[in-house]
Every structure is written in structure tokens, then in C-alpha cells.
């Protein structure tokens, strides 16, 4: 048997080669398991957040901005928790995202909103005018 430059001439050499290949297989499995654990660990949300923060930490101004944003969010969450009823982190983040989205729409597309509201008002006025009294 001549595979990868190794010649096996008897039963003892065959068993020796099988043992070497089994050891190599076990070593490779351990390396693969370690690599998979590292990938899973790096995909954990806390590690992703830590990596993002580390990238921003090089820029001191961005670091200070992140700290102030984090403190502001923490303060808002604690106030909502203290004065609200059963505020969860999920509902807090959802309401925060909705608030940010509406702020964005209001600041950047207020003309579309005004046009839409006036069209709705005109639609209801037309319905009211068509309806006999």
C-alpha cells in the first residue's frame, strides 16, 4: 500500500500506522472542537459588545460619547423600572428603538407626514360631505 509515500509491508507496520492515524484524528478533533468553542464564544453578545467597545476605545471622544450614552440609557431604564410597572429590558429596548425611529422620521421626513395628515383630513372631509345629513 503506497499512499502519501508510506510503504507498509507487514501486519505490525499496518497496526502502527493505524495507531498513528487514530492519534492524528483525535488531535485534529480536539483542535476543531477548540476552534468551534472559540467561534461560539466570539459570537456571544457580550463578546461582540466588548469587541465593539474595544474598537471605539481607541478614539477617546467616541469612548466618552459611548459612556454618556450608556449612562443615559441606564438612567432611563432605572427610572422606568422605579416608576413604571414591570418594565423588562426587552420592552425598554423596544420602546427606545421605536422612540429613535419616530424621532428620525419626524426630523427627516416631517414634510411627508404633514402631506399624509392633510390627505387623510381631506379624505374624511370628502366622506363627510358625501354623506347626506
pLDDT tens for each residue of 1-15: 445 688 889 999 999
What does each C-alpha distance from 50 to 61, 90, 113 come to in angstroms? 18, 20, 39
Residue 116 lies in a domain: yes
Rounded to two decimals, the pTM is 0.37
The answer to whether residue 63 sits within a structural domain is no
Rounded Cα distance between 20 and 107, Å, is: 68
Specify if 69 maps to a domain.
no
Domain count along the chain: 2
- The answer to whether position 74 is within a domain reads no
pLDDT digits over 32-78, tens only?
Answer: 999 999 888 877 777 777 777 677 666 677 667 767 777 777 777 77
Position of cell 392633510?
A: 118
**Would you say residue 81 lies in a domain?**
no
Residue 35 domain boundaries? 7-42
Structural domain includes residue 83 = no
Residue 118 lies in a domain: yes
Measured CA to CA in angstroms, residue 113 lies from 16, 79, 95, 118 at distances of 79, 31, 21, 9
Residue 47 belongs to some domain of the structure: no
Who contacts 81 (Cβ-Cβ below 8 Å, separation ≥6)? Answer: 87
Amino acid at each position: 500500500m503506497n499512499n502519501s509515500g508510506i510503504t507498509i509491508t507487514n501486519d505490525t507496520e499496518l497496526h502502527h500506522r493505524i495507531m498513528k492515524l487514530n492519534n492524528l484524528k483525535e488531535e485534529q478533533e480536539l483542535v476543531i472542537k477548540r476552534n468551534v468553542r472559540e467561534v461560539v464564544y466570539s459570537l456571544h453578545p457580550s463578546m461582540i459588545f466588548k469587541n465593539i467597545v474595544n474598537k471605539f476605545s481607541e478614539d477617546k471622544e467616541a469612548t466618552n460619547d459611548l459612556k454618556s450614552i450608556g449612562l443615559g440609557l441606564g438612567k432611563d431604564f432605572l427610572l422606568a423600572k422605579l416608576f413604571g410597572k414591570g418594565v423588562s429590558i426587552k420592552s425598554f429596548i423596544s420602546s427606545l428603538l421605536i422612540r429613535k425611529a419616530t424621532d428620525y422620521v419626524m426630523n427627516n421626513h416631517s414634510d411627508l407626514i404633514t402631506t399624509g395628515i392633510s390627505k387623510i383630513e381631506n379624505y374624511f372631509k370628502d366622506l363627510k360631505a358625501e354623506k347626506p345629513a
